[in-house]
């Protein structure tokens, strides 16, 4: 055990740094001092612009006003992700944030839907999900009677700026400067201080590494090690570019598969974030740039930027007196918009285990154990999209089809394929609804399902399904257009 933790130093700004600063200052700021060191000369990656629903809980916890943050970040609402050309070329499906149908004690709704197909009732799985149908219709509203589960598309750079102002009002001290040296305690091996290029020294008791891929503290100073996951997730490059909006913003992210990876489209109020994720073994940077620029609409407003990465994670998220957040802790490609979520869950986990009276190994071990479980579950969910597909039209997709996958995912796929059952792991960020929407969407249909579905006769089942479907259709019809709602609710000034 070390001494009392009073001074927390965050190395690096960006989304991760300022999210950490805001949460620490707001929730336990009376017990600690928070200092953030960032350099104006170092840019942030700033492309993590799509989120998943738990971000609303984070904002609520911090007392952040939704309309205010949405205006400040030019945000739009997100009901899910539309996956195009993933199952096969010219096919699409939506993975939404909604619950599909109604479940019972023995199993989820998909068992009843599968049974209905056997009885000749012709319907799509997505017909029974309110969020999915609202996304398809391009509609949105905040309605207590018929609440939608949603997240946001936001400008990550503006989000960091917003949180910076929020944090500084709560007493977070910002020091501008480039970190030139990390000094460790010769006895404990813990980080003692950061030396800036100006010569200034910043000492602390607990350090949070938000220095991006470089991992200045967690890796370069503490040599934590990195687990490379590129044998499971071979994409290692991305190109990002922003374009002017030429159409109203839709309430979903688009993910469009291509012969060597996939392209994203994230609609904000005033522009669209675009990017191409690809594997450099199958596509050169020049080919990728050409593919991206050929498949975007609207005038480009930024220079295309190539980002190189190695999918994987640090062996420990918390090592000695250093916690890594964001890109310094690892990188799982942004296919399911988990980057900002993983920052947030890391912060909440740290707050719940915060070592007020000094570092205890049991706290550190608990943090790392829960992080392992969460990262493995996210990793498996992402790999699922590449593994379960009918695409074999390129060397990249052929590689994905034949590649080995983690045993944990292999078990989930086999269980679903053979029995129609889905069981979640402790760290699963995504619910059963997410797994079933993606499995069905990617073309995986089970051989059997739970016989609880047989409790209804044909007429009862038909009435049950048509009742759900009609209620959703009626609710969607009443919703305003997404862009119309945005204009009234949180139109940004610029």
**Dist. CA 260–CA 280, nearest whole Å:** 8
**Dist. CA 51–CA 54, nearest whole Å:** 8
* Contacts of residue 315, Cβ cutoff 8 Å, sequence gap at least 6: 224, 225, 226, 227
78 assigned to active site = yes
Q: Give φ, ψ of 352 to 5 degrees.
A: -70, -30
Beta strands 261-267; 271-278: pairing state? antiparallel
| pLDDT on residue 1 | 52
| pLDDT on residue 145 | 82
| pLDDT on residue 455 | 87
* Contacts of residue 222, Cβ cutoff 8 Å, sequence gap at least 6: 184, 189, 191, 319, 320, 322
Starting from the edge strand earliest in sequence, which strands make up the sheet with 173-176, in order? 173-176, 33-38, 7-11, 206-209, 322-324, 318-319
Residues paired with 81 in a beta bridge: 95, 253
**Where do we find the tokens 């250093």?**
322
| pLDDT on residue 163 | 97
CB 20 within 8 A of CB 345: no
Residues paired with 255 in a beta bridge: 83, 264
Report which of 342, 314, 368 is spatially closest to residue 430, judged by C-alpha positions: 342
**Dist. CA 138–CA 153, nearest whole Å:** 15
Residues paired with 184 in a beta bridge: 191
**Dist. CA 255–CA 236, nearest whole Å:** 17
CB 441 within 8 A of CB 87: yes
| pLDDT on residue 66 | 97
Tally of CB atoms within 10 A around 79: 30
Domains of the chain in sequence order: 7-49+155-230+311-359 (3.50.50.60), 237-308 (no CATH)
| pLDDT on residue 345 | 97
- Using only the alpha carbons of the chain, give its radius of gyration: 23
Report which of 453, 430, 464 is spatially closest to residue 98, judged by C-alpha positions: 430
| pLDDT on residue 43 | 66
Beta strands 173-176; 33-38: pairing state? parallel
In the set 4, 30, 60, 78, the catalytic residue is 78
Report which of 467, 454, 469, 459 is spatially closest to residue 118, judged by C-alpha positions: 454
Structure tokens that stand for 430 in this block? 């995504």
Helix (H) or strand (E) holding 243: strand 237-244
Distance of CA 297 to CAs 4, 92, 245, 253, 260, Å?
A: 55, 20, 8, 15, 21
Report which of 210, 158, 166 is spatially closest to residue 346, judged by C-alpha positions: 210
SS percent in the chain: helix, strand, coil, step 5: 40, 20, 40
**Where do we find the tokens 């679903």?**
416
Report which of 494, 40, 34, 14 is spatially closest to residue 268, judged by C-alpha positions: 494
Tally of CB atoms within 10 A around 55: 23
Distance of CA 36 to CAs 7, 173, 256, 356, Å?
A: 11, 6, 38, 19
User: How would you write the pLDDT of the chain (494 residues) with one tens digit per residue?
Assistant: 568 999 999 999 999 999 999 999 999 999 999 999 999 877 665 566 899 999 999 999 999 999 999 999 999 999 999 999 999 999 999 999 999 998 776 678 999 999 999 999 999 999 999 999 999 999 999 988 889 999 999 999 999 999 999 999 999 999 999 999 999 999 999 999 999 999 999 999 999 999 999 999 999 999 999 999 999 999 999 999 999 999 999 999 999 999 999 999 999 999 999 999 999 999 999 999 999 999 999 999 999 999 999 999 999 999 999 999 999 999 999 999 999 999 999 999 999 999 999 999 999 999 999 999 999 999 999 999 999 999 999 999 999 999 999 999 999 999 999 999 999 988 899 999 999 999 999 999 999 999 888 888 999 999 999 999 999 999 999 999 999 999 999 999 86
**Dist. CA 190–CA 187, nearest whole Å:** 8
**Dist. CA 23–CA 61, nearest whole Å:** 8
Beta strands 191-196; 179-184: pairing state? antiparallel
Tally of CB atoms within 10 A around 362: 8
């Amino acid at each position: 055990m070390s001494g009392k933790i009073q001074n927390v130093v965050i190395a690096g700004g960006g989304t991760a740094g300022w999210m950490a600063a805001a949460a620490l200052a707001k929730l336990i700021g009376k017990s600690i001092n928070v200092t953030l060191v960032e350099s104006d000369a170092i840019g942030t990656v700033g492309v993590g612009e799509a989120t998943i629903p738990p971000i609303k809980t984070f904002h609520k916890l911090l007392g952040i006003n939704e309309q205010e943050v949405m205006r400040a970040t030019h945000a739009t609402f997100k009901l899910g992700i539309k996956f195009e050309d993933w199952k096969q070329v010219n096919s699409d499906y939506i993975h939404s944030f909604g619950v599909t149908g109604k479940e019972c004690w023995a199993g989820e709704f998909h068992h009843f839907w599968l049974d209905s197909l056997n009885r000749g009732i012709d319907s799509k799985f997505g017909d029974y999900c309110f969020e999915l149908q609202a996304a398809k219709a391009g509609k949105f509203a905040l309605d207590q009677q018929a609440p939608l589960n949603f997240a946001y598309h936001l400008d990550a750079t503006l989000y960091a700026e917003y949180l910076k102002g929020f944090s500084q009002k709560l007493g977070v001290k910002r020091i501008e400067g480039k970190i030139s040296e990390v000094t460790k305690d010769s006895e404990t091996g813990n980080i003692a201080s950061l030396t800036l290029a100006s010569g200034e020294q910043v000492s602390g008791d607990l350090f949070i590494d938000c220095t991006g891929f470089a991992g200045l503290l967690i890796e370069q100073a503490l040599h934590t090690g990195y687990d490379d996951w590129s044998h499971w997730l071979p994409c290692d490059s991305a190109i990002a570019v922003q374009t002017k909006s030429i159409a109203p913003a839709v309430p979903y992210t688009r993910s469009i598969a291509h012969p060597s990876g996939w392209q994203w489209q994230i609609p904000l109020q005033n522009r669209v974030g675009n990017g191409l994720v690809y594997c450099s073994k199958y596509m050169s940077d020049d080919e990728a740039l050409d593919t991206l620029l050929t498949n975007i609409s609207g005038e480009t407003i930024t220079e295309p930027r190539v980002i190189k990465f190695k999918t994987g994670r640090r062996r420990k998220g918390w090592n000695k007196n250093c916690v890594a957040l964001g890109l310094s802790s690892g990188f799982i490609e942004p296919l399911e918009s988990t980057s900002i979520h993983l920052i947030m869950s890391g912060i909440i986990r740290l707050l719940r285990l915060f070592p007020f009276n000094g570092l205890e190994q049991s706290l550190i071990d608990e943090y790392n154990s829960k992080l392992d479980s969460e990262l493995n579950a996210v990793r498996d969910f992402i790999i699922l999209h590449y593994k379960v597909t009918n695409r074999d039209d390129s060397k990249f997709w052929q590689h994905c089809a034949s590649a080995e996958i983690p045993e944990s995912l292999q078990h989930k796929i086999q269980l679903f394929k053979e029995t129609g059952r889905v069981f979640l792991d402790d760290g699963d960020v995504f619910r059963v609804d997410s797994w079933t929407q993606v499995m069905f969407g990617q073309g995986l249909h089970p051989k059997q399902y739970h016989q609880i579905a047989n409790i209804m006769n044909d007429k009862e089942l038909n009435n049950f399904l048509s009742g759900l479907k009609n209620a959703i259709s009626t609710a969607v019809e009443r919703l305003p257009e997404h862009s119309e709602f945005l204009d009234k609710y949180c139109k940004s000034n610029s």
